[in-house]
Structure 1
C-alpha cells in the first residue's frame, strides 16, 4: 500500500512540475510574440539560447549561432512594416523530460500588403533554470 501511495504522489508531483514547465515554455513564446509586435528583434531573440551552437533551419539551409540568427532576422525584417504583427498558433507543447521540450505551432504575420505564415518546430532546453530555444525549424 505504501508503494502505491508513494507512486501516486510521485506521478502527481511529476505532472505538477511538467505543468509548470509547460507554462514557462508558453511564457517564452508569449514574450517573443510581444517583443516582435513592438518591433524589438533583440527582445524576440531573448527566447533563444545565446550560443554559437543555436541552430535555425529556414527555407534555405541551417544557420548556426545566436548572432547569425539575429543578423538573419534583421536582414529579413529591416523595419516594423516588414515585421508586421505576429501571432502564434501553438499546436503542441510536449515536456519530454525535466530539461527538454518540443513545441509545434503555426505563425502568421499580418502586414499591410500580405499575410505570410507557416509552421515551426522548436526544441527547448532548460539551461541554467531557464527554457531556451536551442533548435528552430521554421517554414
Structure 2
C-alpha cells in the first residue's frame, strides 16, 4: 500500500497537469486569431501575417490553388486587398479547435468581411504548430 499511494498520487497529478496545458494552448491560439482580426481590420497585412510561419514552407490553399511561402502569401494579400476599402473589418467565428498532438492543432471556422467594396464571407481550416515555443499557422485552406 505504501508504494501504491505515491504512484497513484503521481498519476493523478500527471493527469491534472495535462488539461491546463491544452487550455493554455487554445487560449494562445485564440489570442493570435483575435490579433489577426484586429490587424486585418486596421489594414495592417504585415501584422495579420505575424500569425503565420515565416517560412517558404507555409502552405495556403484557396480557389483551387496552392501557394507556398510567407512572402508570396503576403504579396498576394497586398495585391488583392490594397486598401481599407478591400480589407474592411474581419470577424472570425471559430467552430472547432482540435488537438492533433502536443505541438499542433487544427482550427475550423468562418470569416466575415464587412467592406465598402461589398461584404464577403467563407470558411477556413488552419493548422497551428508550436515552433520554437510559439504558435504559428503553417497551413491555411480558405474558401
Bin the TM-score by the shorter chain: over 0.9
- Aligned residue-pair number: 139
Partner of 1:111: 115
Select which of 111, 127, 134 maps to 2:131.
Answer: 127
Are the counterparts in 1 of residues 126 and 141 from structure 2 also a CA contact under 8 Å? Answer: yes
Partner of 1:29: 33
TM-superposition CA deviations, 1:47-84 (whole Å, max 9, x none): 00000000000113000000000011111101100111
Indicate yes or no: 2:42 matched with 1:38. yes
Indicate yes or no: 2:99 matched with 1:95. yes
Aligned-residue offset at 1:96 = 2.4
Greater displacement, 34-43 / 90-99: 90-99
Unaligned runs of 5+ in 1: none
Q: Distance in 2 between matches of 1:99 and 1:86?
A: 27
Aligned-residue offset at 1:17 = 0.6
Q: Distance in 2 between matches of 1:79 and 1:60?
A: 25
Shift of the 99–15 alpha-carbon distance from structure 1 to 2, 3 Å rule, reads same
Aligned-residue offset at 1:126 = 0.3
Aligned-residue offset at 1:113 = 4.5
Are the counterparts in 2 of residues 55 and 62 from structure 1 also a CA contact under 8 Å? Answer: yes
Moved over 4 A (4+): none
Larger radius of gyration: 2
The Cα RMSD (Å) is 1.1
When normalised by structure 2's length, the TM-score is 0.92
Partner of 1:11: 15
TM-superposition CA deviations, 1:24-48 (whole Å, max 9, x none): 1111101111100111000000000
Q: Distance in 2 between matches of 1:81 and 1:38?
A: 11
Aligned-residue offset at 1:97 = 2.2
Unaligned runs of 5+ in 2: none
When normalised by structure 1's length, the TM-score is 0.95
